[in-house]
Amino acid sequence: MTKGKVYLVGAGPGDPKLITVRGLEALRRSDCVVYDRLAGPQLLRQARPDAELIYVGKLPDRHTMKQEEINRLLVDLALQGKTVTRLKGGDPTVFGRVGEEAELLRQHDIPYEIVPGITSAIAVPAYAGIPVTHRELASSFSVITGHESPDKLDLSIHWDKLTQATGTLVFLMGVAKIGYISEQLQKYGRPPETPVALIRWGTRAEQQTLTGTLADIEERVREAGFQPPAVIVVGEVVRQRETLAWIERKPLFGKRVLVTRSRAQASELSERIDELGGEPYEFPVIETRLPESEEAANAVREALGRAESYDWVILTSVNGVDYFFRWLERCGTDIRQFHRARFAAVGPRTAEALASRGIRPEALPEKFQAEGLLEALGEHIRSGQKALLPRGDLARAWLPRELTRLGLEAVEIDVYETVPADGRDPFLLDMLKEGEIHAVTFTSSSTVVNLLEALKRMGAPDPAELLGKTRIACIGPVTARTAEENGLNVAATAETSTLTGLLDALSSLWQASD
């Protein structure tokens, strides 16, 4: 069998967007991904759907896999002909033991690449507003491990030479040794008033920064109960934080927000959460697809075959627009056959989706729901007219019922169906239990129901109780009502049923609580 190949990839410091393009390419092409938690679980969603994911970190029923075992695992997988990505936090060459892994691969004549990552030594301080160099303050920096015991530190570090070697000193994994580190630096020439910063879980939602001086930092750490893991920065550049701190000023800083939309739609909401300083955590609970039953397909074909008979085509979602046009293509229906019809849309995004296809819908309702649509169209709707409603299989019955009551003939067609996503997440339950998910966003009633079902499948005996530790934010009153009927406490409901409205409500909630 042909040997496979191993990519030894640095995933960056935690923020999934800080992986390199080369690293992302390797991840997406691999048959197998070997990872630990420091690599960031959200990156795993970039792997192929059929890729094998092997976790080598610590689980409740198993200790962390030893380095020798990981080395052997990489070899075994490659000898099976697989393309493998070993996903490691930070940069694999900075205290990442990549040399041991690469050496064994080399011994077995297995092709490999080392893909550098952004090391926490520079990224974490940057996210705290601290550049490790500055033209007027520090022209060089050193990166030192602080993880060893004091006697081992003394064997590996020449304190007398290190202390004055560079303007900035960056210690990784040294919180427990902060007293000894500060003592040695002062002993060998650094002034007691030298600024020090400790940044915990930098680039992630849990990011915390503690500042002080060499003289008082140990006491400050003790008083604050400051825990590892953290990066320690020593030097005058720490003073830059007072003016350069940036991410902490964003309204959703420090908040990890669960995004439950379908994978195809999640990206926009995630991008906007990221822009507001939050950390989006995608766990799609629904998927949309063309109806599988022949009965539903025949109903669509028959309805589109009468295109010239409609006075209205009413679309209530972006999905409805997308699948409507996919059906036109599948059935060979020319949009010009709807020449009699006027198009109406619920919500600005639905209207934009129509406009992108050259169709300007009627005036938008002030309320971005079906109820608002009828109010906006008002006198334009008359008894005897015929309306086509291309929708999803879970769409509310209110609109066709009201149209019928007003004397119109409402023709409903399911142009797509919504199904539960077949996804699992090895970390989500624990994150919810530990309060590491700060908010959950729901953009439809189906996302509410399917998240609860997914959590139950993953082992949560009472999903509603589990979600009681986080804030629930809903895109509109219909979704909020579904959440409440399922035992959830809704903390924020958008005033307008749009993503902007949802994020405004969420931001206001945190600002009010802060």
What integer pLDDT is reported at residue 314 of this predicted model? 92
What integer pLDDT is reported at residue 368 of this predicted model? 56
User: Is 15 part of a structural domain of the chain?
Assistant: yes
Whether residues 379 and 266 share a domain: the answer is: no
What integer pLDDT is reported at residue 60 of this predicted model? 46
The single residue of 65, 82, 173, 177 carrying the catalytic annotation is 173
Whether residues 383 and 299 share a domain: the answer is: yes
Domain boundary among 386, 420, 454: 420
State pLDDT tens for residues 184-202.
999 999 999 999 999 999 9
- Give residue 194's domain range: 122-245
Whether residues 373 and 451 share a domain: the answer is: no
DSSP 3-state assignment of 342?
A: strand
User: Is 20 part of a structural domain of the chain?
Assistant: yes
CATH number of the domain at 448, please.
3.40.50.10090
Whether residues 199 and 129 share a domain: the answer is: yes
User: Is 251 part of a structural domain of the chain?
Assistant: no
Residue with tokens 């520079």: 122
469 is catalytic: no
- Percent of residues, the chain, with pLDDT higher than 70: 94
458 is catalytic: no
Domain boundary among 102, 118, 134: 118
What integer pLDDT is reported at residue 367 of this predicted model? 55
The single residue of 17, 58, 152, 187 carrying the catalytic annotation is 58
Q: How far apart are CA 129 and CA 144, in angstroms?
A: 20
Whether residues 232 and 273 share a domain: the answer is: no
Whether residues 143 and 108 share a domain: the answer is: no
Structural tokens at position 5: 């190949």
> At residue 222, does pLDDT exceed 80?
yes
Whether residues 106 and 157 share a domain: the answer is: no
The single residue of 5, 15, 31, 36 carrying the catalytic annotation is 36
CATH number of the domain at 232, please.
3.30.950.10
User: Is 250 part of a structural domain of the chain?
Assistant: no
Q: How far apart are CA 250 and CA 267, in angstroms?
A: 20
Domain boundary among 103, 118, 133: 118
17 is catalytic: no
> At residue 155, does pLDDT exceed 80?
no
Whether residues 436 and 390 share a domain: the answer is: no
Residues belonging to the chain = 514
Whether residues 394 and 445 share a domain: the answer is: no
134 CB burial (10 A radius; 0-12, 13-18, 19+):
middle
State pLDDT tens for residues 7-34.
999 999 999 999 999 999 999 999 999 9
Whether residues 276 and 352 share a domain: the answer is: no
Nearest to 431 by CA among 262, 205, 123, 124: 205
Whether residues 399 and 508 share a domain: the answer is: no
State pLDDT tens for residues 303-336.
999 999 999 999 988 999 999 999 999 999 999 9
CATH number of the domain at 93, please.
3.40.1010.10
Whether residues 17 and 75 share a domain: the answer is: yes
Total domains in the chain come to 4
DSSP string computed for 114-155:
EE----HHHHHHHHTT--S-BTTTBS-EEEEE--S-HHHHHH
State pLDDT tens for residues 440-488.
999 989 999 999 999 999 999 999 999 998 999 999 998 999 999 999 9
